[in-house]
Structure 1
Amino acid sequence: MSEYQTAPQHRVRQVARRGHYDRETVHAILDEGLVAHVGFMGAGGPVSPPMFYVRDGESVLVHGSRTSRFMKTLAAGAPLCLTVTLVDGLVLARSAFHHSMNYRSVMAHGVAVPLSAQEKPHALDLFTERVEVGRARVTRPANAIELKATEILRLPLVEVAAKVRTGGPIDDPEDMDLPVWAGVVPLWLARGEPVPCAMEKVEA
């Protein structure tokens, strides 16, 4: 099935035409993003920490210290909402009210499940490969102490929705002749020139 059967309460309501539930759109956004905000109700109130993540087929993996309060809460089965947003442009309108952004976003609801000790090495390789393809083959793998100290959680992609805005500003007809520039300022994330580590060995 190519489309997620997202429940009504988790589908896009505000400007519903921008909602997307097909796997191609959802996966593309998740595969391009790097940071997910994971919202849940903590002991002291609602929190939404930013977390590095990776998509693994029909699920999203996040990881952190086993001793951290939020990882303990999530591992215990706290309901969560994971969101990823890519900003593609600033939309400048002729009126202040109609300024907007072009974006692609994914929101997933559910309960995350801790990975077993046997699943962790492969999962950590996925995180390493997300940083740079081929990196897992050249770096030292996690040792037993590091594996034990790391909690990795899997959120199945079941209740998931994407929302996408594209195009220019949508001004009111009476504002179209105002002497104000209108259009889109594109934005994107790009890799810069690598900076070697200061402790890098120098060949004689």
Structure 2
Amino acid sequence: MTFEISPTNRVRQLSEKARYDEESVHAILDAGLVAQVAFVQEGKPVVVPMIYGRDGNRLYLHGARKARVIRMLEAGPSVCLNVTLLDGIVYARSLFNSSMNYRSVTVHGTATLIEGDERVHALSVISEHLMPGRSEEVRPSHEKEILMTGVIQVEIESASAKISMGPPDDEDEDMDAPVWAGVMPLRLKAGALIRDPEVPEDMLPTPHMQSQTGRSF
């Protein structure tokens, strides 16, 4: 499926890098961990980072029930959010053509505060996105904990991805410049687990946790 191109989601700068298919949009969302969520408060724009999880063409945003962002999104249903993954710094033969390699997606949709069993499901989706398998290893959340947590559901109504990769795109006149050009790769990667000092030294991480070491985003 492809998202319909409209004035809302059309990529105008470097449009050849745009993707509007669900597969590209979902892949970037699934690789990211934090969404930058934009809303308007008292006539002024505000951007807040939020953790999230995806279930089909629906996103769940996590926050404290009394947090400003939860209250504002509950009151104003239109929402826009962005997830960007940096893959490299592009060293061109001029500063003008130097750039970055990246995967980015911008989503527009309708926000709804969810309650009850749906909130429990949403929290499970978010947990599985961030910490696969962890919900099977720890105690179930207390009802009070669930009530203290706010979850905003965003139906993805419109979206576009923008992907930039590869070497510098230099001007012909600069190709013989006596300077190195290329890409410095960037990676967000999970490191070795660090034990809580209160955990006995002979208690090892579960296979689920160990499998996440080295995970790239």
Over residues 19-38 of structure 1, what are the superposed CA-to-partner deviations in whole Å (9 max), with x where a residue is unaligned?
A: 10111111110000001100
SS at match of 1:106: strand
Residues 104 and 165 in structure 1, CA contact (< 8 A), matched pair in contact too: yes
> Match of 1:11?
10
**Structure 1 segments of 4 or more deviating over 3 A?**
201-204
Q: Please report the TM-score for the alignment, with normalisation by the length of structure 2.
A: 0.89
In 2, Cα distance between the equivalents of 1:45 and 1:145? Answer: 33
Q: Does 1:108 align with 2:103?
A: no
SS at match of 1:180: coil
> Match of 2:208?
none
> Match of 2:64?
65
Q: Does 1:197 align with 2:196?
A: yes
SS at match of 1:146: helix
Q: Does 1:20 align with 2:7?
A: no
Alpha-carbon spacing, 1:135–1:172, altered in 2? closer, same or farther (3 Å): same
SS at match of 1:97: coil
SS at match of 2:96: helix
> Match of 2:49?
50
Q: Does 1:172 align with 2:195?
A: no
* Runs of at least 5 residues in structure 1 that lack an aligned partner in the other structure: none
In 2, Cα distance between the equivalents of 1:80 and 1:120? Answer: 19
SS at match of 1:119: helix
Note the C-alpha offset of 1:44. Answer: 6.8
Q: Counterpart of 1:180 in structure 2: which amino acid?
A: V
Q: CA RMSD in A?
A: 1.6
Q: Counterpart of 2:186 in structure 1: which amino acid?
A: L
* 1:32-181 matches, cutoff 5 A: 32-43=31-42, 45-181=44-180
In 2, Cα distance between the equivalents of 1:50 and 1:9? Answer: 22
37-46 vs 183-192, greater mean Cα deviation? 37-46
Note the C-alpha offset of 1:87. Answer: 0.6
Residues 21 and 162 in structure 1, CA contact (< 8 A), matched pair in contact too: yes
Over residues 46-96 of structure 1, what are the superposed CA-to-partner deviations in whole Å (9 max), with x where a residue is unaligned?
A: 111111111111111101111111210101124221000011111000101
Note the C-alpha offset of 1:111. Answer: 2.3
In 2, Cα distance between the equivalents of 1:44 and 1:15? Answer: 31
Residues 18 and 162 in structure 2, CA contact (< 8 A), matched pair in contact too: yes
Residues 112 and 155 in structure 1, CA contact (< 8 A), matched pair in contact too: yes
In 1, Cα distance between the equivalents of 2:177 and 2:143? Answer: 66
* Runs of at least 5 residues in structure 2 that lack an aligned partner in the other structure: 204-217
Residues 121 and 142 in structure 1, CA contact (< 8 A), matched pair in contact too: no
Note the C-alpha offset of 1:172. Answer: 1.1
In 1, Cα distance between the equivalents of 2:201 and 2:79? Answer: 47
In 1, Cα distance between the equivalents of 2:140 and 2:179? Answer: 56
Q: Counterpart of 2:197 in structure 1: which amino acid?
A: A
